[in-house]
Amino acid sequence: MTDQVLTLYSKMILIRRFEEKVLSAFKEGVFHGTTHTSIGQEADAVGVISQLGQEDIIVSNHRCHGHFLAYGGSPRALFAELMGKPTGVCGGRGGSQHLHWRNFYSNGIQGGIMPMAAGMALAEKTKNAQAITAVFIGDGTLGQGVVYETLNMASLWSLPLLVVLENNHIAQTTPSEITVSGKIADRFKAFGIPTEEINSSDVMAISGLVGRLIADVRYYQRPQALIIDTVRFGPHSKGDDTRSQEDLQALMKTRDPLSIQASRIPQNVREGVDREVETLIEKSYQEALNDPDYDSLRGAVGEMK
C-alpha cells in the first residue's frame, strides 16, 4: 500500500461522512435551505482534484461539497456556510451551492459555469501562467446551450480547460436516457476536443487517467473532456429520490468508491483513518454549531452590507 492509496481514501471518506452528516442534520433542522450531496461520486472529486496543482482553478456546480473538500476546503467553514453563519466559506451568503475559497468557485446555474471556467482558462493563458482550469458538469448540464457555445470557443482558442463530466445518469429525478440524445462523447468530439471516457468508481483508476490528461492540457494548452461514468447513491437533494432502492443497493455492492479503495488498505489502518475522519467531522460540526450567528452579532458588526 502506498501513501497515495491512504490519502485518497481519507479524502473520500471525509466527503462521505460530511455528506451523511449534512443529510442527518438537515432532518434536525440545523440548516436553512437545501443541499445536494455527492454520496457515491467521491472518486470523481478526489480522483480529479488530487491531480491538480496549487495554481490550478476549479469551477464546480450545485453538487460541490465533495469538490470543495477534495480541494482542501475546511469542513467547519462548509458546515458554517450551510448554517448561514459569518464564519462560513462565504459568510453564509452563498450557502451550499455558491462557494469561493482560494482558486475554487462554484455556482448554482448548471451550464452557466462553463463560460466562467473558459474565461478563467483564457485569462491564465493570456498571463502565460501554467495554471489550468477544471470545470465539473453533469449529464443534466448537457441540456443547456451555453455549454456548446463554450466548447466551441474553448476549442477555437485552445484554452487549457479540463471539462469533467460526471455522468450519474440522472438529472434531479429524470434519467438521462430521456434527456440526452446520441453519445455524450460525440458532443465534445464534434468540437474537436480530445475526449476520454472512464466507467469506474475506482479512485486509483480515475486519478491515474486524470494525471495524464492534466499533463496534456498543461503542456499543449488545449481543452480536454473527461466523462466519468458514476453512480449517485443519494437523492438529488434531501429526500427526492424516485429510483428503486433495490437497484441502488445492488449498485452500492460493486460501485462504492469507498469499498473499492478500502480493499487496498489493511483493516486496522483503515479503521484508524475512519475514526480520525469521524472525529474531525463531529468536531467541525460542533465548532460550526457553536459559531455565532448573525442574530447574536447584530449590533456588534453594525450594518450588515
Partner 1 sequence: MTQSFLDSINAGLNQAMANNQQVVLIGEDLLDPYGGAFKASRGLSTAYPSQVITTPISEAGITGIAGGMALRGLRPVVEIMFGDFLSLAMDQILNHLAKFHYMYNGQVSVPVVIRTPMGGRRGYGPTHSQTLEKHFLGIPGLRVIAPFQWKGESQIGLPGQLLSDIIQTTTQPVLFIENKLQYLLPLLDDNNLIDQDCQDISSSYQLEIPFYRIKMRGAPDPTVTIAAYGYMSPLAIQAQKELAFEHEIFSELLVPTQLAPFELAPIMQSVKSTRHLLTVEEGAGSLGWGAEVLAQVASNLGGNFISAARLTGAEHPIPASRQLEEASLPSVKDIVSAVQKMV
Q: Which residues within the stretch 36-95 sit at the binding site for partner 1 (CB under 8 A)?
A: 57, 89-91, 93-94
Between 116 and 252, name the residue whose CB sits nearer to partner 1: 116
Q: Residue 164 Cβ, how far from partner 1 at the closest point, in Å?
A: 17
| Cα(112)–Cα(61) distance, integer angstroms | 9
Q: Are 232 and 243 in contact (CB under 8 A)?
A: no
Separation of alpha carbons 80 and 91, rounded Å: 8
Torsion angle in degrees (nearest 10) through CA of 275, 281, 285, 291 = 100
Give yes or no for a contact between 128 and 190, defined as CB atoms under 8 angstroms apart. no
Q: Mark 124-153 with x for binding to partner 1 (rule: CB under 8 A) and - for no binding.
A: x-xx-----------------xx--xx-xx
Per-residue contact flags (x/-) with partner 1 for residues 196 to 235, judged by CB under 8 A: ----------------------------------------
Q: How many CB atoms lie within 10 A of CB 77?
A: 22
Choosing from 20, 84, 115, 272, the residue that interacts with partner 1 (CB under 8 A) is: 115
Q: Smallest distance, Å, CB 65 to partner 1?
A: 17
In which residue are the cell numbers 499543449 written?
220
Q: Binding to partner 1 by residue 280, rule CB under 8 A?
A: no
Closest to 228 (Cα-Cα) out of 143, 162, 168, 186: 168
Q: Which is nearer to partner 1, 98 or 238 (CB)?
A: 98
In the 8-state DSSP scheme, what is residue 63? S
Q: List residues near partner 1 by CB under 8 A.
A: 57, 89-91, 93-94, 98, 100, 105, 107, 109, 112, 114-124, 126-127, 145-146, 149-150, 152-153, 156-157
